[in-house]
Amino acid sequence: MLKIIIIDDQKLFIRLMADKLQQYAYYSVEGVFSSATKCLEFLENNEVDIALIDVNMPLVNGLELLQKIKELYPNIKTIMLSNNSNINIIKQAYEIGANCYITKSSDEEEILDVIEKVTSGGTHYGKISIEELLLNPKNLDSTVNFEMLSERENEYVNYVKRGLKVKTIAEEMNISQFTVKKHGQNVFLKLGVKSIEELLSLVNNKSN
């Protein structure tokens, strides 16, 4: 029996996913977690075969959790879940060591197929081939990438471009500092950058 855990901060999705998997006798959902911290605490004392990890989570995002799991528990197979097929995020997941990457809109048949693939040592990154991830890392269209940002994320980018800090951005957007940081985290993931400096460089290149 395969022992599976699911990490996602969306309660409805995580319940539906767990219910789907529990229908099959050869899958055992050992735990569902809304944060990376709770997941890592569980893994300290429990063996798991497969981890389904949401890319976008608060505080510690899915890619950071993936990194931790690969460092501490390299035998666990990992399947990343996301609402989109952003090549930047897929490439980051692949480089860290994710075994598979699927969108949350995938039907039950595709999800089961991916679990079967990862169990037998296979990989799956949607319509993106490994050759494309390896050989064409620069084949990314910045315009398309920026179009993938939400209205609020674009608003965040504009404030960062003006040199505003988190506290001031929160006041300007009338949201909490935590939400500002969440917008920033999502922007970094979608655009494949790791710092404000890289973000500003990407924004400036787009303007030229």
Q: How many C-beta atoms surround the C-beta of residue 166 within 10 A?
A: 15
Instruction: Give residue-wise pLDDT tens across range 82-125.
Output: 887 777 778 888 889 999 998 888 888 888 888 998 888 888 77
pLDDT for 124: 76
Instruction: Read off the CATH number of the domain in which 113 is found.
Output: 3.40.50.2300
* Full-model pTM: 0.71
Give the Cα separation of 56 and 68 in Å (integer): 16
Mean pLDDT of 68-75: 95
Burial class (CB within 10 angstroms; exposed 0-12, middle 13-18, buried 19+) of 194: exposed
Residue 194 belongs to a domain with what CATH number?
A: 1.10.10.10
> According to the model, what pLDDT value does residue 72 have?
95
Mean local confidence (pLDDT), 1-5: 94
The SS3 of residue 102 is: strand
For residue 130, give its domain range: 2-135
Backbone angles phi, psi at 13, to 5 degrees: -60, -45
Indicate if the pLDDT at residue 1 is higher than 80: yes
What is the total residue count of the chain? Answer: 208
Q: Is 140 a residue whose pLDDT tops 50?
A: no
Share the mean pLDDT of the chain.
Answer: 84
Using alpha carbons, select from 97, 84, 92 the residue that is nearest to residue 126.
84
